[in-house]
Amino acid sequence: MQDIEKALKEIRRDQKDIGVTTESLNRLPIFQPTLKPRFEVRTFESKYGKITVEGKLGQNHKSLLEVVLYKRKAYKLKIDKNEDDVKVSLEVLYNEYEVKKYLSQSSKYSDERYHQMIKDMITAYIVLEKDDERIAGTIIARERESKKYYRKTKSNLPNIKREIPYVKLEFGDVFSRLLVKELRFTYDPKPITRLDSGISQAIVRFLLTHKRHPRAGYHLKELIENIDENVDQKWKDIRRALKKDAAMLENLGAVIDFKKDRLFVVERSFIFIGG
């Protein structure tokens, strides 16, 4: 096990940081601003671009994706250019047990739930139109076991494997292309996953892609319209969810004045900034 970790540590030392997300993945509601997403075919357009998503993707899926990248052991990025197109492929190696353990500190992650969310990200089809370019495909292409890297268990039971392979996650066209084209951001996902509502998580993720924030604050409804639709119809539920998360949001540096419906970013406290 030590030789495996040593080899991976040397690989990581020579690799650049690929971050845990890109601007479009946080600024556009590719992942629904909820922890209970439904399968939908939906289209959304804002000044940040236009998306059409067919699938079931929520902020819990986004958390899993970010933790995989945050806890990765190594990655392989390949870029092939020709006259007509640029093909990008990204593969990430990680310890599935570590990822689930990291996430379970915020909520319960069964094997069944974990694998279902991976499947959701493999099957969801996304079309993103931005800057006169169209990118279509999936977040994840496939998942498979590594034949070279593994973790050892302490169990002596005959039915328990002594060596459990690490996982290789091959990303689809949408994530791979965005990773190469866009600004990338690195932050610890854990404080975000501790927020109780998907709308709170989506707001923080949106704010993380901006280095400057208005001194007079954001008008709350206008801010949320960047990441959700039909906000007027959901307004009471949204405010109720944000009030429940208000103290935790304030700890992250996002202070909401519910009387004026404005959100203020206290930049010295907004610890994630620095993409």
d(CA 38, CA 55): 8
In angstroms, the CA 251 to CA 232 distance is 27
Is residue 118 within a helix (H) or strand (E), and if so which, with residue range?
helix 111-123
Cα distance between residue 28 and residue 45, in whole Å: 8
| Mean pLDDT within 199-224 | 95
Domain ranges in the chain are 2-186, 195-265
pLDDT at 77: 87
Query: Could you report the per-residue pLDDT of 66-91, keeping only the tens digit for each?
Result: 999 999 999 998 887 766 677 788 99
What's the number of CA atoms in the CB half-sphere (13 Å) around residue 5? 5
The answer on pLDDT for 106 being more than 80 is: no
Block residue for tokens 């400057």:
212
pTM of the model: 0.90
Mean pLDDT of the chain: 89
Q: Are 59 and 198 in contact (CB under 8 A)?
A: yes
CB 21 within 8 A of CB 184: yes
Q: What is the pLDDT of residues 175-196, one digit of tens each?
A: 998 988 899 999 999 999 999 9
Q: What is the mean pLDDT of residues 8-19?
A: 78
In the chain, % of residues over pLDDT 70: 88
